[in-house]
């Protein structure tokens, strides 16, 4: 028996998340304001979400935003997402969170007047950025 599990994140910008999902080549659908989409799970089970990532032909990952805190949660039948899409909840969340953090840093660096000089990815997959600023 399978079930939907919700994963909390520190993501607070749905626009930035959509950018990350597009960059990572995830297909997704976004609900109209005030509406919800169906997230597909095991044996036709469904739950609702504001954004649906189409993980495979038969299973989805839902994205909801908490109205009070603005925090994003992912909801999916992770067992079957892993079986059909080839990645598990931890891999998916880590990959999305890393790219989200990267874009957050880039936006903050630019907002504060710094210039991104260089970026590298080490063997462990960690991203290193070098920034500079003109002194006053």
Give Cα 111 to chain centroid, integer Å.
Answer: 22
Domain total for the chain?
Answer: 1
User: CA 1 → CA 59, 84, 128, distances in Å?
Assistant: 15, 16, 42
Question: Could you tell me where the DSSP H helices lie in 24-132?
Answer: 78-85, 89-111
**What is the per-residue pLDDT across 86-134, written as a single tens digit (0 to 9) for each?**
989 999 999 999 999 999 988 888 888 888 888 888 888 888 888 887 6
Average pLDDT, the chain: 90
- The whole-angstrom separation of Cα 16 and Cα 38 is 22
- Residue 9's domain spans which residues? 5-132
Read off the pTM: 0.85
């Amino acid at each position: 028996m399978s079930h939907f599990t919700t994963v909390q994140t520190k993501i607070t910008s749905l626009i930035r998340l959509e950018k990350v999902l597009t960059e990572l080549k995830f297909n997704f659908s976004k609900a109209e304001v005030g509406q919800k989409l169906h997230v597909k799970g095991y044996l036709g089970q469904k739950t609702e979400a504001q954004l649906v990532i189409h993980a495979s032909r038969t299973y989805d990952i839902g994205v909801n935003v908490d109205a009070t805190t603005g925090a994003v949660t992912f909801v999916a039948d992770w067992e079957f997402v892993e079986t059909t899409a080839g990645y598990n909840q931890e891999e998916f969340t880590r990959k999305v969170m890393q790219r989200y953090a990267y874009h957050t840093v880039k936006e903050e660096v630019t907002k504060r007047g710094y210039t991104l000089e260089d970026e590298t990815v080490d063997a462990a997959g960690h991203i290193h950025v070098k920034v500079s600023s003109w002194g006053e």
